[in-house]
Structure 1
Amino acid sequence: MAGHNASASAGGYLYQTDWALVDLLRKGHTRPDQAITLELHDDVAWNEVSDVANVVELLQVKLHGTSKSAGLGDMAVDVWKTIKIWLDRPDRGDPQGPDLVLVTTSVAAEDSAAHALRPATRDIAAATNRLLAAAKSSKNDDTEVARKAFLDLDPAVRGTMLSRARLLDGQMPPEDLNAAVREALTWALPTGGSHAEDSFVSQVWKYWHEVAVDMLAGRRAAVSVTEVRAFIRELRNRYTTENLPTTVELSSITEEHIRLYDGARFVRQLDLVKYSSPALRTAIVDYHRAITQETEWLSNSLLDVYELRKFEAELRFEWEREFTSMIEDLELDALSPEDVEVAKIKAGRGLLRYLLNSTSVSIRTYYNDGFYGRGKRHELAGHDDTLQRIGWHPDFADRLEAITAKI
């Protein structure tokens, strides 16, 4: 039972966090100077951007396992827990205080106080009378403190508090939240079909969950409507014919990923020019990110194969030009065999570093995340086709052939 309760609690927290994004996207255009907080003033709260302490709307968000009246009866624990939260506020009797909202997936029964607090069926007198009756007749120990506080409250204060309260019942279940976010983002969705749209919405969710974690951890107080809209605009700019979104983050690469490439051909190429261990690790990270990111772009129809092959051809042409220059600049005649090898290794490592820092070739005009170009160069260095392969050491082709022959 304890495990079940923990699961339900976690589900409730996730629901209120995700529901807050839907609320922000839906209301944001009418609240450009406001921000949302999580678990600061209430489950969710709307505040003035200029002063987070200036609360505009407080929302208790409840996830119930049924769409009926669970949790919304006049004696229900969730109803009285919510009322207790409202009662504990110092501005409970202030007619200019923030709106008090109970958001729930349940639907209130017609003869309940909760139903009388719905915007469409609002009747403050009826809600007050039903709550007073329930407060007097209920014997539930879990609601005793809240019921007593409600009964002891000055009638004028009680009336003012309930006049600011409303119920938003029948809210969408968790499984419908993604569709609601997608609908709210209709104006921003990229072209390219459902895969591109799915990728875009997924990035918005990822951003929101990172922001939510920061708020819940106390690393930030709020997130403003303008900040979220700025992120969405910037994200949309990456879903164009001149840009691409980066969805594979550096933080997603693990040591297990790195171990996958022990002995890989591109790693052998790096070994030929004695690329150091720390630098070798970053090269492997770039490679893994690049091929993973490219797979996602292709799968989401954000990049086509023709464009990819053209980019690879330009990378090879850039390499061929610089590799030829490196060979021409080598002066080996007066060197001993040992010094010749040292000179070749140094020249190859210089070529590698130069090309890894080169930004003259990019997959799209405004895409400038460097890991992709670096990773693609490593991919070409490990290409199965010797005619397509590039390398760093002046003798890389013969050296790789010799290594392969020994295996």
Structure 2
Amino acid sequence: MDANDQVVITGLGVVSPIGIGCHDFRQSLLEGRSGVQVIPYLRGLVAPAPIGGVIPNFDVTDRIRPRKALKVMSRDIQIAFAAADLAVQEACVLRSGISPERLGIVFGTDLIPCELDEIAPAVRGCLVDGAFEFGRWGRRAMSDLYPLWLLKYLPNMPACHIGIALDAQGPNNTLTLGEVSGLCAVAEAVRVIQRGQADVMICGGTGSRIHPAYWGRSRAYPLSKRRDDPASACRPFDADRDGTVHGEGAGAIVLERRRHAESRGAAIYAEIRGFANTSRSTKSNAGLAEAIARAIRLALESADLSVRDIGHVNAHGLGTVADDEAEALAIHRTLGDVPVTAPKSYFGNLAAGTGVVELAVSLLAIRHGFVPPTLNYHRADPRCPIRVVHGRPLTGSSPAAVVLNHTPTGQVASLVVASP
């Protein structure tokens, strides 16, 4: 890649079930500490098991500005703002004298469900003899909602709030693509810089699947039934896996052209070397495996790297029987015996927050020289013929990684990052 096109990462922020900020997040990875637990407000749920990756001790009052913006911030927006703020602080980019017109935002989000206590009065106002009357919604129910209610739940609002707080007047965009949202946001931010439309981009992803609305309607993936031992529930690639786990989290990174970063003396985590986005041709496992394999090959080609250059794979690793088998086959066919780690074993499926929180695992691995083990991997599955890192961190591997995500509808994102 031409030096003028090299885009590097200079800041990282994480808000996750295993830590807020890079230090606590990294410590949990080193200690093998899970963030999956029984969700307090779902404790009485019979099925599915009321377990998930919950962010502990998240106090928004000291993290949001202006404070009045909290009135129109859902949980997804709050954790996105906090992650972006951490990344910007670490990069020291605002003290570099950057013009607001050259600072932009791209964020990946999910559809954001409404808090039940906010919508309950409106729903009750539409009940007639215990039945919901849809015809009453426009006339009656809207009067029971906070006038700015909708602003709390629009998917584009994380990017908007971050942009307003930072006075970022450059490109501002949002991608709502499920689990691939975060990695696709990173790829788009890289392209914005390479097109010359910004000098610095803040990008990331945010999502929360521990909201009760997801439990009532989400059937995209089988969920683990291990309610008696939540920490062991998500078991990517293990022969005894029985489903994934919901979670919540947000991650953000600061991107800039290498020359821009070096000119201001910024510390560099890694370089974005390549990216690919594919989709499966059929609903079969074979179709998903082929799409993942193609994404890996295209990303390596884009990065101008070979299999020998890759130190580890950061797998999507849902913990479901079918998805893990398809992903493992794709990794085996394209990358052979390259070590694989699966971060969802620590915190579950973070929806649109998945990509950049998991990318943070590889960035810390590159910076600190270790690949964290996959939790709960005890018995190899012959249908998943890959080298899963487990038991203890892996050291001494090449400082380059392939990061993978895919969605239940078959979209695949593959990102290659490497030591600067």
Indicate whether the TM-score tops 0.5: no
| Structure (1 or 2) with the larger CA radius of gyration | 1
Of the two structures, which has the highest relative contact order with CA contacts closer than 8 Å and spacing of 6 or more? Answer: 2
TM-score by length of 2: 0.23
What is the TM-score normalised by the length of structure 1? 0.23
